[in-house]
Amino acid sequence: MGSVEDVTRQCSNNHLIALDPSVRKAVKKIKIGDHIRIKGYLVYVDGRHPSKKDFYWYSSTSRDDVGATACEIILVKSVEWLD
């Protein structure tokens, strides 16, 4: 077993945005314990909420960051279940 730093570097918090309705359906079927391959792109998202408040989500591109800005935002093109 590695150090806390090793474990932290090898884990990530991913937020998934489905490319289309069929991908969204596949993402919703993912269960704890599934072995899957996700193909897609790290993305930055910005926009304006209906309340007129601007928002942004920036994808981390570093394995050494921690905290609120360390998440990966993935635009998912496909989901594949592995054996």
Mean pLDDT, rounded, for 26-34:
96
Pairwise CA distance, residues 12 & 42, whole Å: 13
Among residues 4, 2, 5, 16, the alpha carbon closest in space to that of 63 is found at 5
Q: Which pair of structure tokens corresponds to residue 72?
A: 């990966």
The tens digit of pLDDT for each residue in 32-83 reads 999 999 999 999 999 998 888 998 888 988 877 777 778 999 999 999 999 8
The backbone region for 68, taken as left when phi is positive above 0, alpha when psi lies in -120 to 50, beta otherwise, is alpha
Count of other CB atoms within 10 angstroms of residue 61: 8
Terminal C-alpha separation, the chain: 25
Domain boundaries, the chain: 4-81
Task: Decide if pLDDT at 1 tops 70.
Answer: no
Task: Decide if pLDDT at 30 tops 80.
Answer: yes
Q: What is the pTM of this model?
A: 0.80
